[in-house]
Amino acid sequence: MSATENLNPGCVFLPDTSEKVSEAISIFAKNDCKFAIKGGGHSAIPGAASIHDGVLMPMEYINTTEVQLQEGYIRVGAGATLGSVYEALDPYNLSAVIGRYKKVGLGLAVGAGFSYFSNSEGLTIDNVVNYEVVLANGTIVNANASSHNDLFWALKGGNNNFGVVTHFDLATVATDGRVLGGIVYYPESSLDELADVIYDYHVNQAVNDIHTHTLPQYGYNGTTNETINFTPVVYNADLQELPDIMQPWNNTPHYKSTVHNRNYTSLAAELNDGFPDGKFQAQRIMTVYADAQLYKDIWWEFRKWMKNYQDVEGFYGLHCNMPITPRQVTQGILKGTNALGLEDAGNRTLGILYFGVTFDNKADSDRVLPDHDEFVQKMQKLAASRDLLHPYLMLTYSGWNQPVLLSYGEKNLAKLRAVQAIYDPTHVFQRLVPGGQKLPDAKQA
């Protein structure tokens, strides 16, 4: 958990059933008591998974994983970690369209969510078949394609604005039982060449072979002034070597590779290694149309910017570049649509550009965080000047003050407000759950 999330709740309530969550929400609403819901606690947004002086409600005891083989889904408690989902499904040669890190929770299933399988199956939200939700009045409902389908749609991107999700039913994906995957580490001298490989992944590999998956990550260590790239490279099949379409990842000079044949539980555990807890963190996001030169220019600008903070104790910067392909958007439409508003991307790949910073001491926040915000705004203006900026902001990687739900477009925003009026007419989750990305008032649009 990020130190950014280390607030001071007045008390902590640990429910172990949906019914106890229901009782708690009824009490909170009746007494105007502010509260926060904590799943995996992965978000770096202040208050998204904690609260100052209110009630913190961790979901960690609602953590069951129940594989429904005949029905084709796994029922997962809201407090489960993704590692437990992989562990439950691996023995059946199955997996799910969930996040890639072992210790992460299920917040991405109401935000957006990239997966090893996104190039074939779409985003995580598009592969939820049912949400069990506690509403503001304490009622427990199931939201799916045939029951409360308006709420079902709203939860696919609408975050914590409509209720507390206690269980997720996630569609399962058949696998070979084994996967070829690991991390490839590239030195600074390879980064120019690697930028071309990343672009090729976005517009060729991810488009023309839906079994591919990578997560390109540039890292800058302010203490050592060292820059590297460490990219998880995955092919969703029981192979020993990467297919030809992914060979550019091997052919680019690198100093280490852990890519080998394994199960998904092992892969998720390795990708989680080195994920720091207890540091101050901030993240920001932007979306562009895939463009090789823009990708290079933005990365080198970020690297130049990060070098200004070598004196900040424990400073580390991370830049990730992840595609949303036309097929991913189409999968969302075919599976009932979502709230994200990506349909206007047409037949073009979008690049989701992430900018993260971590450091040791809170005292440095006043210096680093406003500069970080300003830098990303500059990059958005750069992309816009080349007619390459897309308005979408991915919730799961967003900064606390980025207007995520506004980025979904006025039509979807109006629909979200209409759903809120039905299921939370007194705005319990707007007023009493201050953390996370909130549904803006009409006057803010």
Encode pLDDT of 55-82 as tens digits: 999 999 999 999 999 999 999 999 999 9
201: DSSP letter: I
φ and ψ of 223, to 5 deg: -70, -40
Tell which residue, 211, 252, 208, 214, has the closest CA to residue 231: 214
Mind listing the pLDDT tens digit for each residue in 364-382?
999 999 999 999 999 999 9
Give the bridge partners for 37, in sequence order: 57
Q: What is the pLDDT of residues 119-162, one digit of tens each?
A: 999 999 999 999 999 999 999 999 999 999 999 999 999 999 99
Using alpha carbons, select from 379, 273, 276, 215 the residue that is nearest to residue 44. Answer: 276
Per-residue confidence at 46, pLDDT binned at 50, 70, 90?
A: low
How far apart, in whole angstroms, are the C-alpha atoms of residue 106 and residue 83?
11
- 76-96 mean pLDDT: 98
* Residues contacting 225, CB < 8 A, separation 6+: 307, 310
* pLDDT given at position 8: 81
What is the pTM for the complete model shown? Answer: 0.94
Q: Is the pLDDT of residue 312 over 70?
A: yes
Cβ neighbours of residue 237 closer than 8 Å, sequence gap 6 or more = 176, 179, 180, 211
Contacts of 342 (CB under 8 A, 6+ apart): 324, 329, 332, 350, 392
Q: Which strand (E) or helix (H) includes residue 193?
A: helix 191-200
pLDDT value at residue 261:
99
The yes-or-no verdict on residue 275 having pLDDT over 60 is: no
Q: Which residue has the higher pLDDT, 1 or 266?
A: 266
Q: What is the mean pLDDT of the chain?
A: 94
CA dist., res. 147 & res. 142, Å (int): 7
pLDDT above 90 coverage of the chain, percent? 89
What's the residue count for the chain?
A: 445
What is the pLDDT at residue 125?
A: 99
CB 51 within 8 A of CB 35: yes
- Asked if 394 contacts 43 with a C-beta cutoff of 8 angstroms, the reply is no
- Average pLDDT value for residue range 180-205: 98
In 123-192, beta strands by DSSP E: 128-134, 140-143, 164-174, 179-186
Residue 111 is predicted with a pLDDT of: 97
- Report the pLDDT averaged over residues 383-402: 97
In the three-class reduction of DSSP (H, G, I as helix; E, B as strand; rest coil), residue 318 is classed as strand
| Angle (nearest 5°) at CA 402 between 397 and 406 | 105
| Other Cβ atoms closer than 10 A to 391 | 15
Q: Which of 178, 188, 131, 183 is nearest to 157 (CA)?
A: 131
**pLDDT value at position 3?**
46
Q: In which residue are the tokens 């060979």 written?
A: 247
CA–CA dist 286, 100 (Å, integer): 21
Between 280 and 249, name the one with better pLDDT: 249
Instruction: Tell me the mean pLDDT in the region 211-221.
Output: 97
- Residue 390: the pLDDT is 99
The helix (H) or strand (E) run that includes residue 421 is helix 410-423
Q: Which residue has the higher pLDDT, 196 or 436?
A: 196
- What is the C-alpha separation between 171 and 130, in angstroms, rounded? 9
Distance of alpha carbon 77 from alpha carbon 114, whole angstroms: 19
Nearest to 154 by CA among 177, 133, 175: 133
Fold observed for domain 179-397:
Vanillyl-alcohol Oxidase; Chain A, domain 3 (3.40.462)
Least confident of 356-370, 412-426, 429-443: 429-443
Q: Is 157 helix (H, G, I), strand (E, B) or coil?
A: coil
User: Which residue, among 213, 125, 32, has the nearest Cα to 395 in the 3D structure?
Assistant: 125
Angle between helices 191-200 and 292-306 (to 10 degrees): 140
Query: pLDDT tens digits, residue range 10-29?
Result: 899 999 999 999 999 999 99
Confidence band of 53 (pLDDT split at 50, 70, 90)? confident
- Over pLDDT 70: what percentage of the chain? 94
Is residue 269's pLDDT more than 90? yes
Sheet holding 55-58, edge to edge: 11-12, 55-58, 35-38
